[in-house]
Amino acid sequence: MNLKQINPTGRLRQTSGGRKTFGFPGVAFSFALLLVLASCETAVEFTGQETAPLLVLESVARPGEPLQASLTASRFFLSQTDTFAVVPGAEVSLYVGGQFRETLAETAPGIYTSAFVPSQGQSLALEISADGFESVSAETSVSDVPADFRWEDSSSLVLPLWEDSGTLLMASDSTWSDVEYRSVDYEMQMVEFSCTFAFGDIPATEFYCLEVLQQADDSTWNASADLSSARLLAGSAYEDLDVYEGRVLFADEFFRDGTARVQLDFDLMETAFYENGERLPDTDGQRISVRVRLLGVSESYYYWQKTLAAFNGEFARGVFSEPVQVYSNIQGGIGIFGGVHQGAEYEFTLTTPWYNPDSRYGREVLLEEDVWY
């Protein structure tokens, strides 16, 4: 690493690496240029028409649970606020199988809850009116879910990544108040776990979702961060599936002989440390607890989640990519009214070969060229 010194003369100078750099005059010129460009900015006044807010409905029906609907007002795209105003005092009417069932009670500002509890296979509809908004309506159904969801197969593949030497920092607790420095050799590898689940298709349901959760350090269950990919298997062929926030959505059009087989891949990294040729007990392996749930979902929920995933990945595809319109099935407003039915659930543990539960809390490797003395 070459340490650069400032040239007090401000002239063009040559560094030991052969590159040319500028001193103070170049910096001063750049600063002056920025001032000139900044002074050329012109405020452009918006002369279009501000659209009136629409009623936004968000509701997902689940068997065995009272129906809950959230009502807010849409926000103008040039608005300076980053919150959505709740809509209290609305009249929310629930219809089951085309027949009026009840008016939902407002249990919190903008939150409306039914006494009725939906069951699988039922068709539901909502009609909503609120002061200052156009009346809205929406329909959905509560899907059935296969009863034969099962764990079929699992495998693991170890992929060596690299070996190197560096300085190992180890701490006895999360505060990193007591740090130990040790010169070590280390190697890293990725362990790819593949788990296959299967179930039989049922005629009443066209759309499915696997919800994959992972237990965090505080014992809560969140969307799996280590789920790397998923595919729908059909004999020797397969169809890659999108993964979004721990959800894998797919339709039954790719099923073979009425059976679905879905492979989930988890990528876990681990590191082993060596000192004088002997592996230290403070390895950096992983053990994660995973839950996989099979959901039967309505058509509206399926397309809402698919377009939501595409919308949130829009920036990654490039600023000039086609804009994504998030799916909505609300007549007269925007939002989603969908149905979800959870079936069987599997919970299992994935453990990498170098995992050691007695390893000390904090470990971080610094390569020699990154260590400052």
pLDDT digit string, tens, across residues 238-284: 889 989 899 999 988 877 778 889 999 999 999 888 888 888 877 77
In a domain, 10, yes or no: no
User: Among the three residues 94, 118, 141, which one is the final residue of a domain in this structure?
Assistant: 141
Residue with tokens 């156009």: 134
User: Among the three residues 141, 168, 193, which one is the final residue of a domain in this structure?
Assistant: 141
Residues 73 and 180 in one domain: no
- pLDDT interval class at 23 (50, 70, 90): very low
Residues 302 and 352 in one domain: yes
In a domain, 27, yes or no: no
Residue 319 pLDDT > 60, yes or no? no
In a domain, 200, yes or no: yes
Residues 122 and 225 in one domain: no
User: What single-letter amino acid sits at 281?
Assistant: P
Whose CA is closest to 9, among 25, 28, 27, 21? 25
Residues 186 and 311 in one domain: yes
Residue 371 pLDDT > 60, yes or no? no
Cβ(290)–Cβ(266) under 8 Å? yes
290, with CB counted inside 10 A (0-12, 13-18, 19+), is buried
Number of domains within the chain: 2
Q: What is the pTM of this model?
A: 0.75
**DSSP H/E element including 24:** helix 24-39
Residues 111 and 91 in one domain: yes
In a domain, 23, yes or no: no
Residue range 77-99, pLDDT digits in tens: 666 677 789 999 999 999 999 99
Of residues 287 and 182, the one with the higher pLDDT is 287
Any residues with CB less than 8 A from the CB of 85 and at least 6 apart, and which? 53, 72, 73
Write down the pLDDT at residue 277: 84
- pLDDT interval class at 48 (50, 70, 90): low
Residue 18 pLDDT > 50, yes or no? no
User: Among the three residues 81, 116, 141, which one is the final residue of a domain in this structure?
Assistant: 141
Write down the pLDDT at residue 24: 43
Residues 122 and 242 in one domain: no
Residues 111 and 249 in one domain: no
Residue 323 pLDDT > 50, yes or no? yes
CATH number at residue 108: 2.60.40
Find the radius of gyration of the CA atoms of the chain. 29
Residues 136 and 267 in one domain: no
Q: Residue 168 sits in which domain range?
A: 150-321+340-370
Residues 116 and 255 in one domain: no
Tokens linked to 322: 């086609």
In a domain, 21, yes or no: no
What is the C-alpha to C-alpha distance for residues 337 and 330, in angstroms, rounded to an integer?
7
In a domain, 217, yes or no: yes
What is the C-alpha to C-alpha distance for residues 240 and 309, in angstroms, rounded to an integer?
15
Residue range 110-158, pLDDT digits in tens: 999 999 999 988 999 999 999 999 999 999 999 888 889 999 999 999 9
**DSSP H/E element including 117:** none
In a domain, 17, yes or no: no
Cβ(321)–Cβ(313) under 8 Å? no
Residues 295 and 198 in one domain: yes
What is the C-alpha to C-alpha distance for residues 285 and 352, in angstroms, rounded to an integer?
6
Residues 347 and 215 in one domain: yes
Residue with tokens 């099935």: 329
Write down the pLDDT at residue 284: 78
In a domain, 330, yes or no: no
**DSSP H/E element including 272:** strand 259-275
Write down the pLDDT at residue 309: 83
Average pLDDT over residues 204-224: 92
Residues 63 and 189 in one domain: no
